[in-house]
């Protein structure tokens, strides 16, 4: 049994794949298996995967028909043999000691999950580095709070390792949905007794420029709302008094996120847009008093009372500022 099974879903990432896999193969923790799930990629990715399997017997390749990242991760989970499971996205890469660091944390604290922090990478810019390192061991409810708050821990699954048993009982990613991490993170954390949270940056999260400068809208963006509404329901079941406020903040945040994308894309989906605005206005007092939502977000919310055109103008102005920031 390897200590960690690292699952990498592969689809149309020929430009980035070798950098990613090299960073995993080069881990200081050698006792790992690397599961490359070729999700029917139409480019040279399948051949690249097979090349790595020939060079390193820790690499296993699974070729399958295209079904999306959730299905690919699920296939990887089914095949995993490790004591722990980790995920890496194929356009990202990791520090050479990331998995040794995360494994040492869970063993030292007798925890089921450990997580590190990201380097946020933008083309042509040096990533910012945390000056002070902190490590905290918390229970599952505190970990859920931290993840939903997104100040001390991130919602994404890729910068963490999980005890294999957490994925027993058919806990799997929802196939056909986007924001698959949000659909699963609360259920995952709820199955842990101890979670170790470190802000030591070990994972290089690569932001492609088109994700910053263009907010393409898709009907799948409504999956994001569905995911956080599900998390809200689960949080109320787990500990309503403690978790409900932070879960409701996330429900408001994701509606702003989708509304922004609709505004930038000029979408005139009046029924869905009206539902989102109605929800936000119903939470007016909560939004204005919340100390996690930014002042800019609160001002844009107020603008909704003067018409969607004003809201759209504010969103476009903010998008231009972000574009200049990353140019």
pLDDT at 90: 96
32-38 and 4-10: which strand pairing? parallel
Counted residue by residue, the chain has a size of 327
3-state SS, residue 201: strand
pLDDT at 171: 94
User: Across the 327 residues of the chain, what is the mean pLDDT of every consecutive 10-residue run?
Assistant: 97 96 98 98 98 98 96 97 97 97 98 96 82 95 97 94 93 91 96 97 81 63 95 98 98 96 86 95 98 93 95 89 64
Are 20 and 98 contacting, i.e. CB atoms less than 8 angstroms apart?
no
pLDDT at 21: 98
Are 300 and 309 contacting, i.e. CB atoms less than 8 angstroms apart?
no
pLDDT at 214: 43
From the CB of residue 121, how many other CB atoms can be counted at a distance below 10 Å?
16
pLDDT at 211: 43
Q: With the C-alpha atoms ordered 69, 169, 148, 224, is the resulting torsion angle positive or negative?
A: positive
Are 65 and 90 contacting, i.e. CB atoms less than 8 angstroms apart?
no
Are 80 and 162 contacting, i.e. CB atoms less than 8 angstroms apart?
no
pLDDT at 128: 83
Task: Compute and round to an integer the Cα radius of gyration of the chain.
Answer: 20
pLDDT at 326: 55
Answer yes or no: pTM beyond 0.85: yes
3-state SS, residue 266: coil
């Amino acid at each position: 049994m390897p200590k960690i099974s690292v699952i990498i879903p592969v689809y149309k990432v020929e430009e980035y794949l070798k950098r990613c896999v090299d960073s995993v193969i080069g881990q200081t923790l050698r006792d790992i298996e690397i599961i490359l799930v070729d999700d029917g990629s139409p480019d040279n990715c399948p051949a690249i995967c097979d090349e790595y399997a020939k060079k390193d017997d820790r690499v296993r390749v699974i070729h399958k028909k295209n079904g999306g990242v959730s299905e690919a991760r699920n296939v990887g989970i089914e095949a995993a043999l490790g004591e722990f499971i980790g995920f890496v996205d194929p356009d990202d890469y990791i520090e050479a000691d990331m998995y040794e660091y995360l494994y040492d944390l869970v063993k030292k604290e007798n925890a089921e999950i450990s997580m590190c922090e990201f380097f946020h990478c933008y083309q042509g810019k040096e990533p910012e580095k945390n000056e002070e390192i902190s490590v905290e061991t918390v229970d599952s409810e505190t970990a859920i709070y931290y993840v939903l708050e997104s100040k001390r821990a991130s919602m994404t699954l890729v910068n963490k390792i999980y005890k294999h048993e957490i994925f027993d009982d058919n806990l799997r990613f929802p196939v056909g949905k986007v924001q698959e991490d949000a659909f699963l993170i609360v259920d995952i954390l709820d199955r842990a007794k101890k979670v170790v949270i470190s802000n030591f940056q070990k994972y290089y999260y690569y932001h492609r420029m088109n994700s910053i400068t263009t907010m393409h809208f898709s009907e799948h963006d409504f999956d994001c709302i569905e995911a956080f509404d599900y998390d809200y329901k689960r949080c109320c079941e787990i500990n309503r008094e403690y978790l409900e406020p932070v879960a409701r903040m996330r429900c408001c945040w994701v509606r702003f996120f989708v509304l922004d994308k609709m505004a930038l894309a000029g979408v005139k989906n009046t029924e869905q847009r009206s539902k989102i605005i109605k929800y936000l206005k119903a939470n007016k007092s909560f939004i204005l008093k919340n100390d996690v939502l930014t002042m800019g977000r609160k001002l844009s919310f107020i603008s909704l009372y003067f018409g969607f055109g004003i809201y759209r103008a504010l969103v476009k102005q903010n998008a231009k500022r972000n574009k200049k920031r990353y140019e």
